[in-house]
Structure formats: structure tokens, C-alpha cells
Amino acid sequence: MFPIHRGRRLRINESIRSLVRETSLSPADFMFPMFIMEGENTKVDIPSMPGIFRRTLDLTVEEVKELFALGIRAVNIYVKVSDDLKDNTGKEAWNDNGLMQRAIRAIKAACPEMIVMPDVALDPYSIYGHDGIIEKGDVANDATNDALVKMAVSHAKAGADFVAPSDMMDGRVLRLRQGLDTAGFHNVGIMSYSAKYASAFYGPFRDALDSAPKDADVEVPKDKKTYQMDYANRIEAVKEALWDVEEGADMVMVKPGIAYLDIVREVKNAVDVPVTVFHVSGEYAMIKAASERGWLDHDKIMMEQLMCIKRAGASLISTYFAKEAAILLNK
């Protein structure tokens, strides 16, 4: 009670503030999402994501080494698939010599201690840009799960530490756990995108992988709202996370990040596994665009948002700012 209690006593200078700070950030809190393409010694700008590139495998490996030296211990990898390899079955996704499988092997060979979490979803491999197999005008849940198991097992064979299903099919975590265990990969973990919302914040990511839903000569859903979550819902997110934990998820994810911190806290309070938060491409792009115009201080806003995600309950933050933030923290 004032004047006995004065909160400002604990804010007088940075030394005191640092002593009582409730949340801290380190490079080990970050996972860096990486886009990989075919070719050699090439990187391609993604215009809607300044500073982020699609890299060929050789340059990806060099970047991974730099990330590890900065203290970052996990990468979440995605591949840009050639159009001639796309179909409605997604069969390229479990090609043992596919780009994703070669990328996993190369990263683990060059930097064995880097945790590799490849994306598990069919949208980069689909001619329709959806996360699953199209049947009768919709995404077929169970047929897609069969394909995802093949994909995950191929990732495990290549050396993945975790698989990261981002598809939002019902029951896929249980099917993946059963498939991995049957194939002998008991120690390969599952980081499930449990509360992945149908968000407009994903636009730049879809530019990077050409994975947005496409017009087709057959009936297909115009968007991903039949499987990704309605952003009006909160209780559903907790339910999805709890189901995934019951099915065998080792980590659960909330996606997007800053606009969904209430969901992060709800999920954190409900589950007994680590919670990952994806600070997504649109959130990244907005900070870049505003700072380029001089409207915001880039580094201050970047660090504030990352700290707020951690404060809300994130054990791990997947963010395109990982490298920049790690460099600042190391200073």
C-alpha cells in the first residue's frame, strides 16, 4: 500500500531491472525456419520477407553452421518442390532421395548437434496447394494421414530429430507415433502444430514455397478453413493440444504468435509438454516494412515481441528473426 510500497524502487536502473526480470531470452530459445531449393551455390530473395532466402543445399549447410555458432540449436526446414514433381498423392514427399531427405542428411552430417525438425505436410508437393490429398472436393483426412506416415518415416530414416506435422488432419499424431515406432524410430520426437489457425498472416510464407491453394479443373476447397482452426476460437485450441498430447506429441505448437498470445497461455496452462510458438512470416514482414519506413525501431520491436512470446509461455520460438536476435543477444 502506497507510500509503503513503491513499485518504482525495482525500476530505478538497468542493474536493478535485470536482477528482478521475470523472463529472459537466449539464442537457445529460438528455432530458425529455412527454405531450401534445388541447385548449387544460389540463394533467392523472398520479396515479402526481406532478409530471408531460399537457399540451395550447400548454402543451407553453411547457414546452419553459422546458426549453431550463434547458439541456435534447432532448425525447421521446408523445401521448394519443382512443379513437375507435384501431384495429388504427394508421393515425392517420401522419396528417399528427395530434396527434404537430402537436406536432412546434409545438415546432420555437417552439424550433428543441430536439431532438425522437417515440416510434415503435403502442400509443397500438392498440385492443388493443400495440406492433403483431394478426394470428392475436399481434403481426405485418413488418406492424407497414410501419406504423412510415409513422409515422417522417410524423414526419420534421413536423420530427423523431430517431425513437425503442420497439416492439421485429425488423428495424425497418433498415426505418426505408431508409424515411427513400428519402423523402429522410438526416439524421433513429434512437434505437433496443434493450434494452427487459418490466418492471413501466412501470406509471405506461401510466397516462399508457392504453397497457397490453387485454382483447379476439379472441385477443391478455396482455402484451408476446413482443417485449420477458426481464429475466433479459444477453447478449441486447448482441446486440440490436449488431444495431440494424448496421441503422443512431445511438443505442441501455437501458430501464429503475437496475435495469439492468449492462446499460448491457455495451452501452456493446460499441457505438460513444451509449447512452441511460431512467430510467422506476416508478423516478420510487418516489422520489416514498418522499420524500413522509419515508423518503428526494428531491433527494439523485434526483441519486445520475442520477449512477449516467451513471457506468454513459449518454451521454443520458431522465428525468422532467430539469427538477428541471437546476434544482438550475443553482444
Q: What is the CA radius of gyration of the chain?
A: 20
Q: Which residues contact 43 (CB under 8 A, 6 or more apart)?
A: 53, 54, 55, 56, 59
Structure confidence at residue 114 (pLDDT)? 98
**268 counts as catalytic:** no
Considering the candidates 86, 108, 224, 255, report the single residue annotated as catalytic: 255
Residue ranges of alpha helices (H) inside the chain are: 14-20, 57-69, 99-110, 141-158, 172-182, 203-209, 235-247, 261-270, 281-292, 298-312, 322-330
Of 206, 225, 213, 222, the closest CA to residue 127 belongs to 213
Residues 32 and 326: beta-carbon distance below 8 Å: no
Which cell numbers in the block locate residue 20? 528482478
Strand, helix or coil for residue 134: strand
Task: Decide: residue 156, CB within 10 A, 0-12 exposed, 13-18 middle, 19+ buried.
Answer: buried
Considering the entire predicted model, what is its pTM?
Answer: 0.95
* Full pLDDT tens readout for the chain, 331 residues: 899 999 999 999 999 999 999 999 999 999 999 999 999 999 999 999 999 999 999 999 999 999 999 999 999 999 999 999 999 999 999 999 999 999 999 999 999 999 999 999 999 999 999 999 999 999 999 999 999 999 999 999 999 999 999 999 999 999 999 999 999 999 999 999 999 999 999 988 877 777 667 666 668 888 999 999 999 999 999 999 999 999 999 999 999 999 999 999 999 999 999 999 999 999 999 999 999 999 999 999 999 999 999 999 999 999 999 999 999 999 9
Single-letter code of the amino acid located at 271 = V
Q: Regarding beta strands 53-56 and 43-45, do their DSSP bridges make them parallel or antiparallel, or are they unpaired? A: antiparallel
Q: Which residues contact 300 (CB under 8 A, 6 or more apart)?
A: none
Binding site, residues? 240
**43 counts as catalytic:** no
Considering the candidates 108, 196, 224, 310, report the single residue annotated as catalytic: 196
Structure confidence at residue 203 (pLDDT)? 86
Residues 279 and 306: beta-carbon distance below 8 Å: yes
Binding site for Mg(2+), residues? 240
DSSP structural state of residue 232: T
**Max CA separation in the chain (angstroms):** 73
The domains of the chain are located at 7-330
Structure confidence at residue 222 (pLDDT)? 87
Residues 249 and 196: beta-carbon distance below 8 Å: no
Structure confidence at residue 214 (pLDDT)? 66
Residues 304 and 311: beta-carbon distance below 8 Å: no
Which cell numbers in the block locate residue 169? 488432419
Whose cell is 502444430? That residue is 193
CATH class of 7-330: alpha beta
